[in-house]
């Protein structure tokens, strides 16, 4: 990504809104109900993959009614500009012993599928009581490894997107909507 030189430059890279704040709110309510329906009052552990999923996690955890704990992992997918290099590293692990938990992984976006494939493998090996994956966004046309989330709020075409937790060069995570990035 080229260096941002001014506020005009920063703003001009927000090409167009793809998902509005209201659409996100609506779909999060439905996702919360879906989680409640699956777990039927059983306590769960929501596991957010940092950093991209931190905003989604904050809203989704307030849309579920079952008792829930929160956990964080940091999985870093390495990008050259807006292109995935295919390298995924777990840089911060969960503090909970997952063997006594029903787990819901909360992810921002499934792109090539590599990150979630690795994270799911890692967590399943620790024998949780159950495991489901909820993703805010899904780009199925970009898959390199086979991976299907259990619940996806929005399916999008092959755009590089920013906002609502998703960054480009660490900027734009604080946008309240999801936008296409103007590379």
* 149 touching ligand 5GP, by CB under 6 A: no
H-helix or E-strand spanning residue 5? none
* 13 touching ligand 5GP, by CB under 6 A: no
Q: List CB contacts of 183: < 8 A, sequence separation 6 or more.
A: 1, 13, 81, 82, 160
Min dist. Cβ of residue 58 to ligand 5GP (A) = 16
Is residue 76 classed exposed, middle or buried when 0-12, 13-18 and 19+ CB atoms within 10 A define those classes?
A: middle
Rounded to the nearest 5 degrees, what angle is found at the Cα of 169, between the Cα atoms of 6 and 117?
A: 160
* 60 touching ligand 5GP, by CB under 6 A: no
Residue whose CB is less far from ligand 5GP, 31 or 88:
88
User: Per-residue x/- mask for ligand 5GP, residues 103 to 122, rule CB under 6 A?
Assistant: ----xxxxxxxxx-------
On whether the CB atoms of residues 102 and 77 are closer than 8 A, the answer is no
Residue 170 to residue 59: CA distance in whole angstroms: 20
CB neighbourhood size of 180 (10 A): 18
Q: Is 111 tagged catalytic?
A: yes
* 154 touching ligand 5GP, by CB under 6 A: no
* 138 touching ligand 5GP, by CB under 6 A: no
Residue whose CB is less far from ligand 5GP, 1 or 129:
1
Among 32, 52, 128, 149, binds ligand 5GP (CB under 6 A): 52
Number of residues that bind ligand 5GP (CB under 6 A): 19
Residues 72-91, interacting with ligand 5GP (CB under 6 A): 77, 84, 88
Rounded to the nearest 5 degrees, what angle is found at the Cα of 139, between the Cα atoms of 115 and 84?
A: 50
Q: How far is CA 138 from CA 11, 27, 28, 129, in A?
A: 25, 14, 15, 26
Residue whose CB is less far from ligand 5GP, 39 or 153:
153
The residues that are catalytic are: 111
- Applying CB under 6 A, the residues found at the interface with ligand 5GP are 52, 77, 84, 88, 107-115, 160-162, 166-168
């Amino acid at each position: 990504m080229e260096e941002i030189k001014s506020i005009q430059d920063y703003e001009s890279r927000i090409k167009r809104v793809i998902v509005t704040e209201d659409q996100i709110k609506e779909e999060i309510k439905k996702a919360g109900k879906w989680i409640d329906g699956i777990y039927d009052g059983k306590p769960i552990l929501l596991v957010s993959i940092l950093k991209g999923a931190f905003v989604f996690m904050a809203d989704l955890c307030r849309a579920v009614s079952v008792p829930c704990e929160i956990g964080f992992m940091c999985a870093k997918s390495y990008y050259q500009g807006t292109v995935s290099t295919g390298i995924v590293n777990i840089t911060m692990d969960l503090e909970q012993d997952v063997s006594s938990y029903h787990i819901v992984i909360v992810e921002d976006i499934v792109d090539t599928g590599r990150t979630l494939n690795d994270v799911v493998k890692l967590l399943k090996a620790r024998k949780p009581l159950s495991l489901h994956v909820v993703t805010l966004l899904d780009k199925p046309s970009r898959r390199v490894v086979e991976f299907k989330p259990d619940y996806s709020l929005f399916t999008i075409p092959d755009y590089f997107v920013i906002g609502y937790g998703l960054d480009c060069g660490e900027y734009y995570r604080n946008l309240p909507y999801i936008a296409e990035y103007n590379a």
